[in-house]
């Protein structure tokens, strides 16, 4: 029999059969997929990425207070993903809905490394100063590694590529590989005024897993979007767009959204925060959009600017903390699970 099979095939059969003996029990954790939890932190951000090997990156920590509500929800997502530690926590910027939850999170679950854009630049704002100082106290314990990220860098997260595209108001200067086309959406676009808050300082990343591309720019504002996207699109197209600034203006300009042309966009809005009709319209009209998902029904959006119920993690009424979860394969196919409906929608590879 051996003589009839090419050597490689025989070796594969042998190792497969040996593998069956070695790992007799089925291994449900032997995943090949990337999992992404869009944790409901009520209009803040907290997005947990877990690679097939169980390495993890959390982008933002939600709000402070609320008896540790956001840390509890992040820990529940980590538990669901089968991890006991978060390897990297990336703080996009120093606003309470992003970094505010960091001390409670660190008290709840072990963290390896914090990544941020450096100093707080909104020193005239008491809220930003307060959450930045609390975060600095956490770093000063010496328990964590710390990285100050710069545009263009690839962060040391294994199992997926995390490339920094914006940090501390600086942006990548050259187009990413495969990007660099003239952006037709820039025509007639007017650049929004310069924003002086922490938002335009957001640490933004393009995350690549096999063929899948995911863009997360935190609360990056329209002025920076235009620099990044006009006249040349430096990002290219993406599969999944973590909607900037919870779907609030002045972020999510048409010049950016229609050029990155996401297949799926997910808004981390709250019932009363983000999900503005103007930002929502831009996404809905984006070329190639297959689905828009929202963490919450937006009161601001009303009957005309909210997605249909199956695409909403949380409906009107009392807070139930439902999340959305993306499971993605390296070929670029993925699915979105709604923890409220327990329904899953599949998206085939391009």
Least distance from Zn ion to the Cβ atom of residue 97, Å: 4
Residue 148: is it exposed, middle or buried by C-beta count within 10 angstroms (0-12/13-18/19+)? middle
Q: Indicate the pairing of strand 47-50 with strand 56-59.
A: antiparallel
CB nearer Zn ion, residue 97 or residue 168: 97
When the beta carbons of 97 and 300 are compared against Zn ion, the nearer one is: 97
CB 342 to Zn ion: min, Å: 28
Residues 276-335 that bind Zn ion (CB under 5 A): none
Residue (of 28, 38, 29) closest to 334 by Cα position: 38
Nearest to 226, CA basis, from 280, 183, 279: 183
Identify which of residues 59 and 264 has a Cβ nearer to Zn ion in the complex: 59
Alpha helix (H) residue ranges in 153-220: none
Question: Judged by CB under 5 A, which stretch of 12-20, 156-164, 218-226, 285-293 contacts Zn ion?
Answer: 218-226
Task: Collapse the DSSP code of 90 into the 3-class scheme (helix H, G, I; strand E, B; otherwise coil) and give the result.
Answer: strand
CA distance 221 to 229: 12
Tell me the H-state helices in the chain: 7-22, 69-81, 102-108, 126-140, 222-229, 254-260, 277-284
Cα(145)–Cα(240) distance, integer angstroms: 29
Closest distance to Zn ion from the beta carbon of 314 (Å): 17
Q: Which of 219, 223, 268, 300 binds Zn ion (CB under 5 A)?
A: 219
Q: Which tokens sit at 331? A: 């070929």
Binding part of the chain for Zn ion, among 6-14, 213-221, 280-288, 337-345 by CB under 5 A, reads: 213-221
CB of 96 to Zn ion, least distance (A): 9
Q: Which is nearer to Zn ion, 46 or 56 (CB)?
A: 46
A 10 A CB-CB count for 9 gives 11
The one segment of 74-82, 90-98, 251-259, 318-326 that binds Zn ion by CB under 5 A: 90-98
Candidates 42, 87, 97, 195: give the one binding Zn ion (CB under 5 A).
97
Quick one: 209 or 280, whose CB is closer to Zn ion?
A: 280
Check binding of 198 to Zn ion (CB under 5 A).
no
Q: How many residues bind Zn ion (CB under 5 A)?
A: 2
Q: Which stretch binds Zn ion (CB under 5 A): 65-73, 96-104, 309-317, 318-326?
A: 96-104
Stretch binding Zn ion (CB under 5 A), from 92-100, 105-113, 190-198, 206-214: 92-100
- How far apart (Å, rounded) are the C-alpha atoms in residues 290 and 341? 19
How far is it, in rounded angstroms, from Cα 234 to Cα 171? 10
Contact 117, 141 (CB under 8 A): no
Concatenate the DSSP letters of all residues of 9-40 into one string. HHHHHHHHHHHHHHT-S--TT---SEEEEE--
| Rounded-to-integer distance, Cα 311 and Cα 86, Å | 28
Q: Least distance from C-beta 121 to Zn ion, angstroms?
A: 15
Q: Least Å distance between CB 317 and Zn ion? A: 23
User: Can you read off the two tokens belonging to residue 2?
Assistant: 């051996």
Q: Which residues pair with 166 in a beta bridge?
A: 171, 204
Q: Give the shortest CB-248-to-Zn ion separation in angstroms.
A: 8
Which residue, 34 or 131, has its beta carbon nearer to Zn ion?
Answer: 131
Comparing CB distances to Zn ion, the nearer of 219 and 300 is: 219
DSSP tag of 295:
S
Which window, 101-109, 162-170, 212-220, 235-243, contacts Zn ion (CB under 5 A)? 212-220
CB of 300 vs Zn ion, minimal distance in Å:
15
Residues within the interface to Zn ion (CB under 5 A): 97, 219
């Amino acid at each position: 029999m051996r003589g009839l099979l090419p050597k490689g095939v025989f070796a594969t059969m042998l190792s497969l059969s040996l593998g069956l003996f070695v790992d007799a029990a089925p291994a449900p954790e032997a995943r090949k997929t990337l999992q992404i939890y869009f944790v409901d932190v009520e209009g803040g951000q907290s997005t947990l990425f877990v690679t097939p090997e169980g390495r993890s990156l959390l982008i933002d920590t939600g709000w402070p207070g609320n008896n540790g509500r956001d840390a509890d929800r992040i820990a529940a997502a980590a538990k669901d993903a089968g991890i006991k530690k978060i390897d990297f926590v990336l703080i996009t910027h120093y606003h309470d809905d992003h970094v505010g939850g960091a001390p409670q999170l660190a008290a709840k679950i072990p963290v390896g490394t914090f990544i941020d854009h450096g100093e707080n630049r909104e020193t005239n704002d008491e809220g930003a100063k307060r959450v930045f100082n609390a975060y600095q106290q956490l770093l000063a314990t010496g328990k964590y590694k710390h990285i100050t990220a710069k545009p263009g860098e690839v962060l040391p997260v294994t199992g997926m590529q995390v490339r920094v595209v914006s940090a501390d108001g600086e942006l990548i200067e050259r187009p990413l590989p495969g990007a660099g086309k003239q952006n037709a959406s820039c025509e007639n676009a007017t650049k929004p005024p310069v924003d002086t808050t922490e938002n335009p300082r957001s640490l933004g990343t393009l995350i690549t897993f096999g063929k899948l591309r995911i863009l997360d720019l935190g609360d990056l504002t329209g002025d920076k979007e235009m620099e990044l996207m006009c006249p040349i699109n430096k990002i290219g197209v993406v599969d999944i767009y973590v909607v900037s600034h919870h779907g609030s203006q002045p972020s999510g300009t048409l010049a950016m959204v229609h050029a990155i042309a996401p297949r799926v966009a997910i808004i981390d809005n709250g019932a009363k925060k983000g999900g503005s009709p103007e930002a929502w319209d831009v996404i809905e009209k984006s070329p190639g959009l297959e689905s828009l998902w929202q963490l919450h029904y937006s009161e601001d959006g009303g009957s005309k600017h909210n997605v249909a119920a199956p695409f909403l993690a949380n409906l009107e009424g009392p807070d139930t903390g439902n999340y959305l979860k993306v499971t993605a394969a390296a070929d670029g196919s993925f699915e979105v699970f709604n923890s409220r409906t327990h329904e899953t929608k599949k998206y085939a590879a391009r």
